[in-house]
Structure 1
Amino acid sequence: MRRKTLLTLVTVFGLVASPVVASAGQSGGWEGTWATAEHEANEGFVPNWSLEGFANQTVRQVVRVSQGGPAIRIQLSNRYGSAPIAITGATIGRAGTGAAVSDLRPLTFNFKKSAVIPAGGQIASDAALLPVRPLESLTVTLYFAKPTGPVTYHGLGLATSYRAAGDHQNNLDGTAFTEKTESWYLLSGVQVLDPTPKRDVVVAFGDSITDGAGIAADTNDRYPDELAERVRGRFGVLNEGIGGNQVLTDTDFAGEAAVKRFKADVLDHPKVRTVIILEGINDIGMSEIEFPGVPPRPHVTPQQLIDGHRSLIRQARAKGLRVIGATLLPYKGALYYTERGEKVRDEVNNWIRTSGEYDAVVDWDKVMADPNDADLMNPAYDIGDRLHPNAAGYKAMAAAIDLGTL
């Protein structure tokens, strides 16, 4: 019966794997329920396996979806790889405690258990008949029989991923998985079947504050997570934040500039209606002081950042997306704070609020400010570095979003 149902889905919606993830308008009935922004293998902010890659090893990764659906598929990215990567086998199921999993389903690619992700490319699996509920945690398991070399990944996952020697893709109790990190590897998206033609996915696009820096691992306390909890599956919420990311400048450790990665990380998702943009504080701070491994550069100007935001707006509008601008949060006292940088932040925020170039504005600068000093983050929302919110701060950010603007 399951095979017959799957064949019916394939016939009606074209739900077979594709060698390249389809862009909006070419994706049939698929709609994003979870995503992460990929970047090049590096040592990163936390210990990870991206540079060494995998060889005769199984990797198990846990994600929490935002909306539900009757069938599901995954997306795998080798975007920054210089050689093809072979996937020997893959499964998906409901996450249990630690690396344990239940309701395990095999994942296939063009009805084959194995697949190859081309260098610089990405693939999607076939449909798996695993009905999922909004806000449910799923486990994706990938087995690599052959050495992969360095792998495209997302460093600041803040979710535990597991590794085991040998082939354990069908392991249920998770005991074989004895190694852990808090990054995601090759896994770039999870999509659910949505037969309606409406576009209603929201993408949160930004830097470490969108990525969730400062939360405890496995708590799902990022602001996009809190937004997903507010809407309870009415639409998908995708997190495309990268810690350390900048609007205008590429870095080895924090990905391509926002103006470059916007197409792949926002526009290529199917059925996106709205994007929330929170970017710019790293451009300011990292041009004010020197960081190890980051070449010094001239101080960024308000006009340069405004021009960068205008580029993002133009790219979004060209695809018919609604664009929400977010003001940059207070950061007085942060490691890279300067009075000159504060003036740049103020000018950029004033432009976001008053220019009318964004379709709507969420004024997180005011929401997160200390009542006694508008340039400081409210201590009740601060993890202690004067830059990143804590769990209460991220919840306040999500609560400040007018759902009508989405």
Structure 2
Amino acid sequence: MPNWSTQGFTNHTVRQVVRVSTGGAEARIEVSNRYGRTPLTVTGATIARAGKGAAVQHGSVRDLFFGRHRSVTVPAGGEVRSDGLPMKVRALESLTVTLYVAGPTGPATFHQSALATTYRAKGDHRSDTGAEAFTERNQSWYYLSGVEVAGGKDDARRKAVVAFGDSITDGYGSTPDAHRRYPDALAERFAATGRPRSVLNHGIGGNRVTADSMWAGEKGVARFRHDVLCEPNVGTVIVLEGINDIGASESPDWPDGPAPDVSVAQLIAEHRSFIRQAHAAGVKVIGATVTPFKGAAYYSERGEAKRDALNDWIRTSGEYDAVIDLDRALSDPADHDRLAPLYDVGDHLHPSDAGYRAMAEAVDLDEL
């Protein structure tokens, strides 16, 4: 699929569908220009109840306002939240956010692997209920960095859970538009108890703990504060990251070029940074063991030894507030260094839909 972020947008309408975790009586969005080099002007935005594909439900389109204005300019490196809009939203409901940008915008802040279809139309179609104008498709998210729902029961008491990590948190390999990522399944578990809870997915495919990347974002320890601790009403974060540091150390074909060798001691030091940052903000931090990767393109016995050592520290050090043992939840009983066949999407690194469901099932909801 084309990468719209490179050229950005000129006289385009961008329509994106997001499923929320919790219900409430008010909704608003967050627009990000975090990586933009020039100010971003959003000429107008709407929110609606999702229909089929790019269509929305008739009678549900509502204009969004920013400081009571229909348009907003987001400074380079900045983010802006819309005004709260009275709107009854159900837990696990899908909402469609439509942005019209007259542009030209230049290169766009985006999330590459959304596992959800984004639709684009030429011209201003922010209020359209039908899908006819939206002739282009992609599977990335652009500018839209959050949909917030407030005013639900026990809002303040049921604090949000952030899933933080790499492509395995991001949901790579799961079925697009089907909400099969592990944070999605975790939100469904909460909803099934009758006590929905916000679950935020801050996974980035290819992300590493120790190194920045031109294609996979800022390193984990650098982005942790913004992506986790600056989110509203966060109570718990689940950290699952490190496999790309291990794999890249052994891979001559890493997209950013040869990666420096990362030791277990370095990985542990950075995980301790996650713990310190979370505790300083009063956030509970749960460590997830790194999942099996034998047979993956960047697997090596040396890398496996590092994974085992890191997981041993996560399990036994007592430094995390709690541990989710995803390694054992997903491993093949016949070879614990491999993903179980049912849980392997086929590349021996990323879980299948069933694997992502098993990850969510491995979480003790009471620990959150």
TM-score scaled to structure 2, two decimals?
0.96
More RCO (CA 8 Å, sep 6+)? 1
CA drift of 1:50 comes to 0.7
Q: Provide the residue aligned with 1:139 in structure 2.
A: 96
Partners of 2:248 and 2:254 within 8 A in 1 = no
CA drift of 1:291 comes to 2.2
Q: Secondary structure of 2:266's match?
A: helix
Q: Is the aligned partner of 1:302 residue 2:257?
A: no
State the one-letter code of the partner of 1:227: L
Counterpart mapping for 1:2-81 below 5 A: 47-81=2-36
Q: Provide the residue aligned with 1:193 in structure 2.
A: 150
Among candidates 281, 304, 310, match of residue 342 of structure 1: 304
Show CA shifts across 1:337-387 (max 9, x none).
000000000000000000000000000100100010010110010011000
Instruction: Tell me, in whole angstroms, the C-alpha distance in 1 between the residues paired with 2:122 and 2:176.
Output: 24
CA drift of 1:216 comes to 1.6
Instruction: Tell me, in whole angstroms, the C-alpha distance in 2 between the residues paired with 1:159 and 1:330.
Output: 26
Among candidates 309, 314, 327, match of residue 352 of structure 1: 314
Q: Provide the residue aligned with 1:161 in structure 2.
A: 118
Q: Give RMSD over aligned pairs.
A: 1.1
Partners of 2:46 and 2:98 within 8 A in 1 = yes
Partners of 2:158 and 2:197 within 8 A in 1 = no
Among candidates 224, 227, 230, match of residue 189 of structure 2: 230
CA drift of 1:289 comes to 1.1
Q: Is the aligned partner of 1:83 residue 2:25?
A: no
Q: Is the aligned partner of 1:221 residue 2:221?
A: no
Q: Secondary structure of 1:204's match?
A: strand
Instruction: Tell me, in whole angstroms, the C-alpha distance in 2 between the residues paired with 1:199 and 1:231.
Output: 11
Instruction: Tell me, in whole angstroms, the C-alpha distance in 2 between the residues paired with 1:290 and 1:105.
Output: 50
Name the CA shift for 1:252/1:270 in 2 (closer, same or farther; >3 Å): same
How many residue pairs were aligned? Answer: 361
Q: Is the aligned partner of 1:176 residue 2:133?
A: yes
Show CA shifts across 1:217-270 (max 9, x none).
101000000000000152100000000000010001100000000011000011
Among candidates 340, 351, 355, match of residue 389 of structure 1: 351
Among candidates 118, 130, 133, match of residue 87 of structure 2: 130
Among candidates 215, 228, 235, match of residue 253 of structure 1: 215
Instruction: Tell me, in whole angstroms, the C-alpha distance in 1 between the residues paired with 2:301 and 2:85.
Output: 54
Partners of 1:105 and 1:130 within 8 A in 2 = no
Show CA shifts across 1:40-76 (max 9, x none).
xxxxxx6321111100110000010000110100000
Instruction: Tell me, in whole angstroms, the C-alpha distance in 2 between the residues paired with 1:113 and 1:133.
Output: 25
State the one-letter code of the partner of 1:323: V
Structure 1 stretches of 4+ with a deviation exceeding 2 A read 194-199
Show CA shifts across 1:4-44 (max 9, x none).
xxxxxxxxxxxxxxxxxxxxxxxxxxxxxxxxxxxxxxxxx
Instruction: Tell me, in whole angstroms, the C-alpha distance in 2 between the residues paired with 1:236 and 1:182.
Output: 23
Instruction: Tell me, in whole angstroms, the C-alpha distance in 2 between the residues paired with 1:298 and 1:270.
Output: 35
Q: Is there any run of 5+ residues in structure 1 with no aligned partner, and where? A: 1-45
Instruction: Tell me, in whole angstroms, the C-alpha distance in 1 between the residues paired with 2:94 and 2:33.
Output: 24
Partners of 1:199 and 1:272 within 8 A in 2 = no
State the one-letter code of the partner of 2:332: D
State the one-letter code of the partner of 1:344: K
Partners of 1:93 and 1:130 within 8 A in 2 = no
Q: Secondary structure of 2:285's match?
A: strand
Partners of 2:240 and 2:289 within 8 A in 1 = yes
Partners of 1:156 and 1:183 within 8 A in 2 = yes
CA drift of 1:182 comes to 0.4
Instruction: Tell me, in whole angstroms, the C-alpha distance in 2 between the residues paired with 1:83 and 1:360.
Output: 42
Q: Secondary structure of 2:85's match?
A: coil
Partners of 1:200 and 1:274 within 8 A in 2 = yes
Instruction: Tell me, in whole angstroms, the C-alpha distance in 1 between the residues paired with 2:165 and 2:190.
Output: 20
Among candidates 244, 249, 252, match of residue 282 of structure 1: 244
Q: Is the aligned partner of 1:112 residue 2:112?
A: no
Among candidates 348, 352, 362, match of residue 324 of structure 2: 362
Name the CA shift for 1:149/1:236 in 2 (closer, same or farther; >3 Å): same
Q: Secondary structure of 2:87's match?
A: coil
Q: Secondary structure of 1:294's match?
A: coil
CA drift of 1:146 comes to 2.1
CA drift of 1:297 comes to 3.1
Q: Provide the residue aligned with 2:202 in structure 1.
A: 240
TM-score scaled to structure 1, two decimals?
0.87
Q: Is the aligned partner of 1:326 residue 2:283?
A: no
Instruction: Tell me, in whole angstroms, the C-alpha distance in 1 between the residues paired with 2:31 and 2:346.
Output: 36
Instruction: Tell me, in whole angstroms, the C-alpha distance in 2 between the residues paired with 1:294 and 1:168.
Output: 38
State the one-letter code of the partner of 1:215: S
Instruction: Tell me, in whole angstroms, the C-alpha distance in 2 between the residues paired with 1:63 and 1:319.
Output: 28
